[in-house]
């Protein structure tokens, strides 16, 4: 798979390439992350990949299908999104898509449904989507983008593969990204520290800014996931942080820390009180 014009997110790119090479492309993807432009760019690349007619590496970006998909003019690439409100993505749109999905593609091998801002789907819309996610026609590909997949129903999440984008690499986002990296590092270190106050000191910096908390939780979930993988002995490169966690905790503990972090992500999207949420997570992370 090619990622022309899409920078950063090397780990995510590698994961997508691996899946493609092994012929295990899922029928539903979720791209989550705060950077809307990057989410959109990646979703568009995947849509192009699905319809590209070039013989080699896809998407070629230059065949008629790629060009049409990029200009939102491909008859087999459908795009929909919610409005500004938190529950503005309505069920009617999904119902239309559901009917359409059973009609064979017009000219490509696949039919792509790009659902942007999927976390603004109403529960009814998500349940309607679920019906087709459970047993989609073989040629159908769903691409959902959202700030955080924690805002989606667990049943929807479980039927898609989730890819977390890194915070934006744009210069103005540098400081914010550094803060997120730093806080995540401090948190991961505090989890393994002998005293509780290290963790409490870091957690105090997390409760004020929801966007930052969301980014830190996403990052932390990735760190714990890597530690789980490392603990299972399935190679790959690891950072010092991951290695430390891996040496300090059992696989079971790492998994429960990952689950607690994911639970916290869901609580955040359900507008839980941030102070209580952070306190809850710290307690879970310190639990023996």
* Residues making contact with Zn ion (CB under 5 A): 52, 54, 59-60, 63, 66
**Closest CB to Zn ion among residues 50, 267:** 50
Phi, psi of 201 (to 5 degrees): -65, -40
- Least distance from C-beta 66 to Zn ion, angstroms? 3
Opening angle at CA 219, ends 120 and 31, nearest 5: 40
- Least distance from C-beta 63 to Zn ion, angstroms? 3
- Least distance from C-beta 276 to Zn ion, angstroms? 50
Beta strands of 137-223 (E only): which ranges? Answer: 140-146, 161-164
Of all helices (H) and strands (E), which one includes residue 113? strand 111-116
**Closest CB to Zn ion among residues 54, 207:** 54
Q: What is the DSSP string of 29-96?
A: EEEE-S-HHHHHHHHHHHHHHHH---SSSS--S-SHHHHHHHTT--TTEEEEE--SSTT-B-HHHHHH
Which ranges of 90-195 does DSSP label H, i.e. alpha helix? Answer: 91-101, 123-134, 154-157, 174-192
- Least distance from C-beta 76 to Zn ion, angstroms? 13
**Closest CB to Zn ion among residues 45, 282:** 45
- Least distance from C-beta 36 to Zn ion, angstroms? 25
Nearest to residue 77, comparing CAs of 147, 143, 31? 143
Exposure string of 113-128, with b = 16+ CB inside 10 Å and e = fewer, is bbbbbbbbbbeebbeb
Rounded CA separation 53/48 (Å): 9
- Least distance from C-beta 1 to Zn ion, angstroms? 12
- Least distance from C-beta 3 to Zn ion, angstroms? 14
**Closest CB to Zn ion among residues 106, 234:** 106
**Closest CB to Zn ion among residues 2, 159:** 2
**Closest CB to Zn ion among residues 54, 153:** 54
**Closest CB to Zn ion among residues 108, 128:** 108
Rounded CA separation 262/257 (Å): 9
Q: Which residue's entry shows tokens 């295990």?
A: 24
**Closest CB to Zn ion among residues 60, 140:** 60
- Least distance from C-beta 54 to Zn ion, angstroms? 4
Give the max Cα distance, the chain: 62
Query: How big is the chain by its Cα radius of gyration, in Å?
Result: 20
């Amino acid at each position: 798979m090619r990622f022309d014009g899409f920078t950063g997110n090397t780990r995510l790119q590698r994961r997508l390439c691996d899946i493609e090479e092994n012929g295990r492309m899922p029928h539903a993807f979720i791209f989550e992350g705060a950077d809307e432009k990057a989410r959109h760019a990646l979703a568009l690349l995947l849509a192009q990949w699905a319809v590209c007619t070039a013989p080699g590496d896809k998407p070629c970006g230059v065949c008629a299908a790629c060009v049409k998909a990029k200009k939102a003019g491909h008859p087999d690439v459908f795009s929909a999104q919610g409005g500004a409100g938190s529950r503005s993505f309505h069920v009617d749109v999904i119902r239309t898509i559901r009917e359409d999905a059973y009609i064979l593609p017009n000219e490509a091998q696949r039919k792509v449904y790009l659902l942007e801002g999927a976390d603004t789907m109403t529960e009814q819309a998500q349940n309607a989507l679920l019906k087709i996610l459970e047993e989609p026609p073989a040629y159908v590909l769903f691409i959902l983008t959202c700030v955080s997949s924690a805002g989606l129903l667990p049943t929807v999440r479980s039927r898609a593969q989730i890819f977390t984008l890194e915070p934006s690499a744009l210069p103005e986002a540098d400081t914010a990204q550094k803060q997120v990296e730093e806080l995540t590092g401090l948190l991961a270190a505090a989890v393994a520290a002998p005293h509780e106050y290290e963790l409490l000191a870091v957690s105090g910096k997390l409760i004020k800014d929801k966007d930052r908390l969301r980014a830190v939780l996403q990052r932390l979930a990735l760190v714990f996931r890597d530690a789980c993988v490392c603990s299972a002995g399935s190679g790959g490169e690891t950072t010092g942080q991951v290695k430390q966690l891996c040496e300090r905790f059992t696989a079971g503990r790492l998994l429960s820390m990952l689950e607690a972090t994911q639970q916290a992500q869901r609580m955040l999207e359900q507008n839980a009180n941030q102070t209580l949420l952070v306190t809850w997570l710290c307690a879970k992370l310190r639990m023996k």
